Structure formats: structure tokens, C-alpha cells
Amino acid sequence: MLNKESKINNGATLLLTLFITSIVSIIGYKLFDLTMFTSEVEKRNLSHQQSFLMVLSLESYTLDYMSSAEKRKSLSLITNRYDPYSPIEIPLKRGNIVAQIEDKSDCFNLNLIVTNDEESKTKTVNQDELLFFKNLLSSLEIPSDKIESISASLIDWIDGDDFPDNYNGAEDFYYSNLNTPYLTSNQYMQNISELRKVKGVTEVIYKKIEPYICALPTNFKFININSISLLKPKILVALSEKKLSDQEAISILEDRPLSGYENIDEFFNDKFVKQSLSSSFSRKKLNAESFYFNLESQIKYDEFTFIMNSRIIKDDEDMKIISRKIGNFL
């Protein structure tokens, strides 16, 4: 089975490498010829502008390619099971381009744990999502007292009120009395790094949780069974309420068809899956389609580094950019 998985990953990596290489060839490498400029400020400004234009071109070709792949029903060949922690690197004359397409349908969306009603200023804790989060932390061998503290404090971090969810929670009063005081967000998370500020989340715990979480809009509720990496079997372990062992979860992931399941019913028709993932929440949580992606583009030239993250959603068969975030420009 591992050989089959290896072939899938190698094929996806090759496909993505050829794709990005072709983009770079079309755009051209000569954007960074700065020798005519003597001013460091001019060089810096031009490098920023050219990097931004190059990333926009990369972004545009990515959208076209993903839309075309979706229409051919082959988008899974690019994203599904492709290791998100292995970006593609393309050398430039005096630097490089690092590009990474990441399917964000294989993680727990932290923002689903509570629903804020803006009109009534009330909150509703989503108990199924809360249980899934707790099971995930438990499968990562985080102590039970820490699980309760982190879960309650996460609810308080996102909800719109100033009242702790329970005695394990934490609102502004707790954070304002720290050595380096700050306040709760009281809104949905924009980035998973916010979790590091939540009571009970140490650096060690955060590193354990980080690969399994995301911070997406609340309408993105599903986890794509076709997208879950073999590196993340604990997603299924948590969904099974720990009925599955890590190895059993890996076996389920290894047994997926090469092209992925066409629909989630096909997955649940498996006898062993029926037994181990029998809860109604598992059926509500899993699907066989991805709707949310992230393209991270990084351009390095001499001492310059330009990073941009583009959030991409699938709308019918089309891919659309919903937000961009420019990172470091050093």
C-alpha cells in the first residue's frame, strides 16, 4: 500500500513541479535585472513591485490550471494526498521561487467550535465540533486537564462575551493580568497562530496541534476524505471517537482509490468504515470534495524576500481568490 501512496505523491509532485516550472518560463526570469539602478531604495521598490507582479501571474495561472483540472475531475491529482509540507522550489538566476498549493480540507476548523450571533450578541457552542476537538487533542496525548482548559479558553477567545465558558475558561481578566497583558479576540480566528495566545496552549502543545488545525470561514465545515494525508491519521482517530488505532486509520487512508472517492457514500459503504466511523457526526463531517485552498508564493532575490498567501475557494467549477496576505518583505 505504501508503494501506491508513494506513486501518488511522486506523480502529484511531478505534475505540480512541471506546472509551476511552465509558469515561471512564461513569466520570465529577467524581471530582476536591477543593475541599472544605483539607489538601494529604487532597487528595493522595484524588487517589491516585480515580485508582486510575478506572484499575481503565478496566482492567475494557478487559478486557470485548477479550474481546468476541476472540470476534468482531476483536481485530486494535484492536491489530494500531496504532502503540504514539501513545497516546490524553482531556481532563479540570483534567487528562487518557492510555491505551494495546499488543500485546506484536511484539518479541524477552529472557528466551528462556537457560533456567534451578531444580532442577539449570543453564542452557541457546537457540541459535536467541541467533542471532535477534544478527541483530537486526546489522540495527540495531551493531558485531560489541559484539554478542558484549552477547549473552554478557545470558546472564550472566539465568543463575543466577557464571561468565561466555565471555570476552565479565560476572558480579558485573565489575559490582562499576565506579565505581558493582552485581550481576547472576541471574534473568529484569522490565523491558527492566534491559538498560541490561548490559555493552556504551550509551545510544545501548539507544535503538536498545528498540523491538524486551520482557521477558515465558518461555512467551510467539511473534511475531505480524499485529502487527508497519511501523516494525519489522527483526524480519523478523533472522528471515530478513538475507536480506531493510528495504524487502522492509516490502513483506511491507504485503501482509498487512486483517483479518490467520487462521493462520501462510496467511502461509508466499506464494512470496516461502517463499524469504526458509525457516528452521525462522522457522516456529517466527512465529504469527498475540496472547496478551500491556499497558494503560498515566495520569491527570493539576493537579500529580498517576498511572500504572499492567496486564499482560493471553489465556486461550482471555478476557482476564486477571496483574500491575499502579503508576508515578509525583508
The per-residue pLDDT for 150 is 97
Query: Binning pLDDT at 50, 70 and 90, where does residue 9 land?
Result: very low
Assess whether 207 and 227 both reside in one domain.
no
pLDDT > 70? residue 38: no
**Which pLDDT score, from 0 to 100, does residue 237 have?**
95
In a domain, 267, yes or no: yes
In this predicted model, which residue has the larger pLDDT, 84 or 42?
42
pLDDT of residue 20: 59
* φ/ψ (deg, to 5) at 71: -65, -30
Q: What is the mean pLDDT of residues 242-257?
A: 92
Pick the last residue of a domain from 211, 234, 269: 211
From 211, 231, 266, give the residue that closes a domain.
211
* pLDDT surpasses 70 at 195: yes
Residues 194 and 249 in one domain: no
- Of the candidates 205, 186, 218, which has an alpha carbon nearest to the alpha carbon of residue 111? 218
Confidence (pLDDT) at 176: 94
Any domain includes 163: yes
Q: What is the mean pLDDT of residues 281-292?
A: 89
Residues 227 and 205 placed together within one structural domain of the fold: no
Contact 123, 221 (CB under 8 A): no
Asked whether residue 228 is assigned to any structural domain, the reply reads yes
Whether 114 maps to a domain, the answer reads: no
Band of the pLDDT at 197, cuts 50, 70, 90?
A: very high
Check pLDDT > 90 for residue 323. no
Q: Are residues 304 and 278 in the same domain?
A: no
> Residue 80 — very low, low, confident or very high, per pLDDT cuts 50/70/90?
very low
Out of 30-44, 205-219, 258-272, pick the least confident. Answer: 30-44
Whether residues 88 and 138 share a domain: the answer is: no
Q: Give the residue with greater pLDDT, 292 vs 81.
A: 292
Residues 220 and 322: beta-carbon distance below 8 Å: no
pTM, rounded to two decimals:
0.78
Q: Within a domain: residue 89?
A: yes
Look at the block and give the residue holding cell 505540480. 16
The overall average pLDDT reported for the chain is 81
- Same domain for 204 and 187: yes
The kind and range of the H/E element at 11 are helix 2-27
Question: Residue 216: how many CB atoms within 10 A of its CB?
Answer: 23
pLDDT of 213-243, one tens digit each? 999 888 888 999 988 989 999 999 999 988 8
Tally of residues, the chain? 330
Hey, what's the cell of 45? 521598490
Q: Indicate whether 251 and 317 sit together in one domain.
A: no
Q: Is residue 16 scored above 60 in pLDDT?
A: no
Residues 283 and 300 in one domain: no
Q: What's residue 179's pLDDT?
A: 94
Tell me if 118 is assigned to some domain. no
217 assigned to some structural domain: no
Q: How many domains does the chain have?
A: 3
Residue 324 lies in domain: 2-104+290-329
pLDDT of residue 141: 95
Q: For residue 184, what is its C-alpha cell? A: 481576547
What band does 1 get if pLDDT is binned at 50, 70 and 90? very low
**What digits encode the pLDDT tens for the residues 98-149?**
888 888 888 999 999 998 877 666 788 999 999 999 999 999 999 999 999 9
- Considering the domain architecture, whether residues 275 and 300 belong to the same structural domain is answered as no
Strand-strand pairing, 213-214 and 108-109:
parallel
Give yes or no: residues 239 and 316 share one domain: no
Select the more confidently predicted residue: 241 or 90: 241
Same domain, 16 and 63: yes
The answer to whether position 203 is within a domain reads: yes
Same domain? For 17 and 54 the reply is yes
| CATH code of 265's domain | 1.10.40.60
